[in-house]
Structure 1
Amino acid sequence: MTAPPADPPAVRVKLFQAASLANQFKDSEALAVYQEILNLAPTHYLSLWQAAVLSVRIGNRYSDETRKAAYFDAARQYADRALLLRPEGGESNYAAALALFSQATLYSAGARLAAFRDLRSHVYLATERRPDLPETWQLLGRWQYRVAHYNLLERLYSKLVLGGVPEGGDSRDAMENLEKAHKMAPQNLQFCYDLARMCQYQGRRRRAIEVLLEAEKISPITSDELVISRLCRKMLPPLARADARHQRRAASEAAPAPPPTPAPASSSREGD
């Protein structure tokens, strides 16, 4: 595979500017710079997949579904253009899977299941080609968990209309991949929240508490992280109370039973 041509100086300057803005969590400004690069070089691969990821990130901040959809649709378009350039690229497939997963949250039930089916190959290719990106493992884990917990109607629709339930949905694999993402980026509050929540769902209360205690030590930087930090803090007390009750009950059951109280000796009267 031949190496891509070097970026022209004007593009290199803008790439540095976009990366600097993204590192400062100025996502909208960074996206605007990547869009400027794409005006200069419409097939610039890095700018395409980064624009897709940033579009999803920005769209997730809106509560209005129309605005969300606009950003998610833009992300899908950027990702599709990146896929045309590198059909098996780890970054392009991650961007495509992320855009599809995000769009699915706004779809009707049937379209949502079709999106989950379609993103399967993308998310697996992403982890295969870019195993160093913790975001790919997080997304794979989330997808695996969601598919593993299809309800009866979702499974029936998938079998009758979509050619079957996607292969790979497994709760244990999902947990392993979320653990992997968390291990690779332990300071990522979103990874902490996703992992703790799924541990809670799977009845792994002690592990959920461990992860949430780790999250308590992470200082949020952005408004997004502040929201997630609050969600983590909200999850912790009820889990801690439930665990304390469980420990008390276990201690009570394990305690040795007290020795039986001896019966009082019976007294007999020898006549009058």
Structure 2
Amino acid sequence: MLGWLATPAAGQFRTQPRKPATAAPSQRPLNALPPDPPAVQAQLFQAATLAKGFKDSEALAVYQEILKGTPNHYLSLCQAAVLSVKIGSRYSDETRKSAYFDAGRQYADRALLIRPEGGESNYAVAFALFNQATLYKAGARLKAFRDLRSHVYLVTERRPDIAEGWQLLGRWQYRVAHYNLLERLYSKFVLGGVPEGGDSHEAMEDLEKARKLAPNNIEFCYDLARMCRYQGRRRRAIEVLREAERISPITSEDLVISRLCRQMLPPLLRADARRSQRSARLEQKEAAPATLPPSPSPAAADSVSRKQ
């Protein structure tokens, strides 16, 4: 669940967002938007309550109603974009999935025109583009990942309190860090180079930040555990999966991810047990004193002396 969707932060309303600690001195603060009329504020509260109750379609309908009267309402555009993508991701049919993703991208692009450096608008664009890329062929998918770079970094700079922004940045960094040879060649000769920023270690750090902001989000646990497993950090993966066991699934998506976490854990535990056993045997072998040849018995020694 997107926490900032259900309970919008102050920066998402018509107030001045705080300047991020990582922002360059040359960056200017975003201009504050005029306050909403009471009727629109009531609709925003209604939509946020619906989203918090996992009624995404109903919440989307309220944001769309706001946009009918105020087509350039920044918050509604951002929220409509993210909700459209979330709803579309639940469909198995690629035609319906694509239609929702495209609608979400259109909302996000409109929000980006209003605030090109807004954390919310850049998250909306990145979230839509990241999901759209799953439907693209190889070349278009690599182009989408190239275009994602500026958006995923701006999210965490402008709105470091959005946990999903850190998750998206971590996913992007990990994916770029693991381009295969063909993907790297295509990026180099067709797209102008592999995007800078792909790094497995930083990706895991970003997922850790996301988990600190939203410790009860089981999807963050799953993403981080997979990265740790692939990078050989078995013990950390086990710790994260143990923590995931204590998170109660709420939505059907949570239930699916919870099952995936449970399936991932046993092989890691068996591998860790085998490693511990090998380490224990090695320690015992190194600690054992060197064995000397047995000394001859008195009778054997006397027999040797008589022969001499």
The letter of the residue matching 1:163 is G
Change (3 A) 1:108 1:215: same
- Name 1:237's counterpart in structure 2: 266
1:178 correspondence with 2:207: yes
The structure that has the greater radius of gyration is: 2
- Name 1:64's counterpart in structure 2: 93
Residue 53 of structure 1 and its aligned partner are, at CA, apart by 1.0
Matches within 5 A, 1:158-169: 158-169=187-198
Query: TM (normalized to structure 2)?
Result: 0.85
Q: Deviations over 1:183-229 (max 9, x none)?
A: 11111101000000100010000000000000000111111111111
Distance (Å, rounded) in 1 between the aligned partners of 2:138 and 2:31: 43
Distance (Å, rounded) in 2 between the aligned partners of 1:136 and 1:23: 18
The equivalent position to 1:257 in structure 2, one of 288, 291, 294, is 288
Residue 261 of structure 1 and its aligned partner are, at CA, apart by 6.2
Q: Deviations over 1:128-185 (max 9, x none)?
A: 1001111111100100010011001000000111011111111111111111111111
The letter of the residue matching 2:68 is N
Residue 2 of structure 1 and its aligned partner are, at CA, apart by 4.9
Partner SS state of residue 119, structure 1? helix
- Name 1:139's counterpart in structure 2: 168
Q: Percent identity?
A: 76
Residue 260 of structure 1 and its aligned partner are, at CA, apart by 2.1
The equivalent position to 2:110 in structure 1, one of 74, 81, 93, is 81
Distance (Å, rounded) in 1 between the aligned partners of 2:282 and 2:61: 63
- Name 1:188's counterpart in structure 2: 217
The letter of the residue matching 1:179 is E
Distance (Å, rounded) in 2 between the aligned partners of 1:169 and 1:124: 12
The letter of the residue matching 1:101 is F
The letter of the residue matching 1:88 is E
Structure 2 unaligned residues grouped into runs of 5+: 1-29
Distance (Å, rounded) in 1 between the aligned partners of 2:44 and 2:171: 31
Distance (Å, rounded) in 2 between the aligned partners of 1:107 and 1:198: 24
- Name 1:34's counterpart in structure 2: 63
Residue 60 of structure 1 and its aligned partner are, at CA, apart by 1.6
Residue 6 of structure 1 and its aligned partner are, at CA, apart by 2.1
Residue 259 of structure 1 and its aligned partner are, at CA, apart by 4.7
The letter of the residue matching 2:186 is Y
Partner SS state of residue 83, structure 1? helix
Higher relative contact order (CA 8 A, sep 6+): 2
- Name 1:130's counterpart in structure 2: 159
The letter of the residue matching 1:48 is L
